Amino acid sequence: MDMAGKTVLITGSTDGVGRYVASRLAAEGANVLIHGRDPTRAKTLIDEIVKAGHAAPTFYPADLSSMAGTRALVEAVKRDHQRLDVFVSNAGIGSQNDGPQRQVSADGHELRFAVNYLSGFLLAHLLLPLLKAATPARIVNVASLGQHPIDFDDVMITRGYSGSRAYAQSKLSQILFTIDLAEELKGTGITVNSLHPATYMNTTMVRAGGIVPMSTVEQGGAAILHLVEGDDVAGKSGLFFNGMNEARANPQAYDADARKRLRALSLELTGL
């Protein structure tokens, strides 16, 4: 897909793999909307892109650990744009960010579930009018091979908490949502896919977990860009990719009842 003139929103794009994807798409002539919490990082990225001779991306600050912050991001984007060709849900926190202890969001939800999954769920639904106005359009959910089945009796992991379990549950939730939303949007011209970009990329999140990086942001970024603009995936939806290749997720992702339960819970928690 020719990205020149296409409008792309990438959450979590002032650092890590999101930053790389934003730079690449700006170089291809896309109208890039970047998101993060740190204006200084955003300015550095904008300056780099402009210095390279490309149009400056627009920065939208927002705290996605808050439902109000997530909704405010959508309203800001809607004020400025009539259409959105691609939404990349990339923002997230790792298993050890700010320590291994259980943390909660501003709305009282387990923090990794709130940031990594619920915010993307809410954003995708609220951005649908802009995506429908741009069809064919794409949604790309940046998930992980690290997946843990959802315990619907304790989704917020109040018992036996571990950061790695919370992270893996939030990432599997993204994949269940991807399949569910793809079915809902069948025939609309909007595709929805998820992926594990690369294993332990050299990012702030990985280093914060005390993990030695195994791959580069360029490798992960290439996999994300494949789903953003690849012609070979233009008509594909509801799939999970490991890097460049279609793969199978945790079996719970293919359980229609689990997806229905997650959807009902997510609609309730987000107030949709």
How far is it, in rounded angstroms, from Cα 123 to Cα 91?
Answer: 11
Catalytic residue among 60, 117, 167, 200: 167
Burial class (CB in 10 A: 0-12, 13-18, 19+), 111: buried
Nearest to 215 by CA among 118, 148, 121, 144: 144
Active site residue 20: no
Contact 120, 138 (CB under 8 A): no
Active site residues: 167
